[in-house]
């Protein structure tokens, strides 16, 4: 990958895609294509195929997906499976037809079995049953991973790599309390409680599950390294290797926001996977390490998203 490479970023309006655009521009990459949803309908195979065939990018980054937190995944399985299959298959197969040599597909740590051995290695894929609440999303992502793998194995001039990040957070995240992921949802709940001078917040589930969190800009830096270096595999984990319980995460956010709230747990909502920390030996061996600690990342988001904008 060179500074004059033509790079197509799909999903550029989302948290991950917008981080790619911002960081590539900061690094002085000039030929960035980042069509918005109203410019390119990723659910339309013909339009995707024609766009890729016409523009002939050197590298394609798939950050586009229908995403949401545990509740959104659990209640919208039809759309999560169908739309994600359509989006990724349209892009990956169109790239293959247009002889695109290099592609990066963004997956998710939820593709691994619910009770995978911790920390989770890449070889754990398809070795056990999935967590039911996000099964539809995971199945779609697994299909994309395998399609990339099959293309890479059958066509030796194709370098299609799937990256599995841990739970992401950062600028341009979704803070909708019903549909967002756990960290932004917690930040929004605690901030609202602070603003409204409440004494208590209600958290979904038991607070016992453990999760691993990665600042989105760190993910992008890892992906750029993978694109620059020769990685022979088709799947690679990206994370910090550290985990924290949801209860302790809530406490950490409260400390940063300087508020002490009583926590009530709503057991009517599912916990999801009990533990989900990634084995990150492969990406560490390539020379990458995360720069933004969880403490620093939450504080940064609090300062920029909440205190500055009063949201």
| Residue 201 placed within a domain | no
Convert the pLDDT of each residue in 243-281 to its tens digit: 999 999 999 999 999 999 999 999 888 888 889 999 999
Convert the pLDDT of each residue in 6-47 to its tens digit: 999 999 999 999 999 999 999 999 999 999 999 999 999 999
d(CA 151, CA 143): 12
- Residues 40-56: what's their mean pLDDT? 98
Per-residue burial over 56-91, b if 16 or more Cβ lie within 10 Å, else e, is: ebebbbbbbbbbbbbbbbbebbeebbebbbbbbbbb
Domain containing residue 227: CATH number = 3.40.50.720
| Residue 78 placed within a domain | yes
pLDDT reported for residue 26: 96
Helix, strand, coil share (%) of the chain residues, nearest 5: 45, 15, 40
d(CA 110, CA 139): 9
59-62 and 7-10 strand pairing: parallel
| Residue 131 placed within a domain | yes
- Residues 140-160: what's their mean pLDDT? 96
| Residue 191 placed within a domain | no
Whether residue 310 has pLDDT greater than 70: no
| Residue 207 placed within a domain | no
| pLDDT bracket for residue 147 (50, 70, 90) | very high
- Other Cβ atoms within 10 Å of 232 Cβ, number: 7
Convert the pLDDT of each residue in 185-204 to its tens digit: 999 999 999 999 999 999 98
| Residue 18 placed within a domain | yes
What's the whole-model pTM score?
A: 0.94
Per-residue burial over 206-225, b if 16 or more Cβ lie within 10 Å, else e, is: bbebbbbbbbbbbbbbbbbb
Q: List the catalytic residues.
A: 137
CA 117 vs CA 63, 135, 143: distances in Å? 27, 18, 22
d(CA 20, CA 1): 14
Better-predicted residue by pLDDT, 311 or 196: 196
pLDDT reported for residue 71: 66
DSSP 305: I
| Residue 266 placed within a domain | no
d(CA 20, CA 224): 9
Phi, psi of 65, rounded to the nearest 5 degrees: -170, 160
Is 8 in contact with 40 (CB distance < 8 Å)?
Answer: no
- Host domain of residue 46: 7-172+212-241+275-291
| Residue 181 placed within a domain | no
The total of structural domains in the chain comes to 1
Size (the chain), residues: 311
Phi, psi of 126, rounded to the nearest 5 degrees: 65, 30
CA atoms within 13 A on the CB side of 250: 26
CA atoms within 13 A on the CB side of 170: 21
């Amino acid at each position: 990958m060179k500074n004059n490479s033509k790079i197509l970023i799909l999903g550029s309006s989302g948290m991950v895609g917008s981080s790619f655009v911002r960081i590539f521009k900061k690094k002085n990459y000039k030929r960035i294509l980042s069509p918005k949803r109203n410019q390119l309908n990723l659910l339309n195979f013909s339009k995707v195929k024609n766009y890729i065939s016409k523009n002939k990018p050197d590298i394609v980054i798939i950050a586009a997906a229908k995403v949401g937190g545990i509740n959104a995944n659990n209640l919208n399985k039809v759309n999560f499976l169908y739309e994600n299959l359509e989006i990724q298959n349209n892009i990956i197969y169109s790239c293959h037809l247009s002889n695109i040599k290099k592609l990066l597909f963004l997956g998710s740590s939820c593709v691994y079995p619910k009770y995978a051995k911790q920390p989770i290695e890449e070889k754990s894929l398809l070795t056990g049953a999935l967590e039911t609440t996000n099964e539809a999303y995971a199945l779609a992502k697994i299909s994309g991973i395998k399609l990339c793998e099959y293309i890479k194995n059958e066509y030796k001039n194709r370098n299609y790599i799937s990256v599995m990040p841990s739970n992401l957070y950062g600028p341009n995240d979704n803070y909708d309390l019903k549909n967002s992921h756990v960290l932004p949802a917690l930040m929004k709940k605690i901030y609202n409680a602070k603003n409204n001078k409440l004494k208590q917040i209600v958290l979904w589930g038991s607070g016992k599950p453990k999760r691993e969190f990665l600042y989105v800009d760190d993910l992008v830096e890892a992906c750029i390294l993978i694109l620059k270096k020769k990685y022979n595999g088709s799947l690679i984990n990206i994370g910090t290797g550290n985990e924290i319980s949801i209860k302790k995460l809530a406490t950490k956010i409260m400390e940063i926001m300087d508020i002490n709230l009583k926590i009530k747990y709503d057991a009517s909502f599912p916990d999801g996977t009990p533990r989900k920390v990634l084995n990150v030996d492969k990406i560490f061996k390539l020379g990458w390490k995360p720069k933004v600690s969880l403490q620093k990342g939450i504080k940064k988001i609090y300062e920029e998203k909440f205190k500055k904008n009063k949201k």
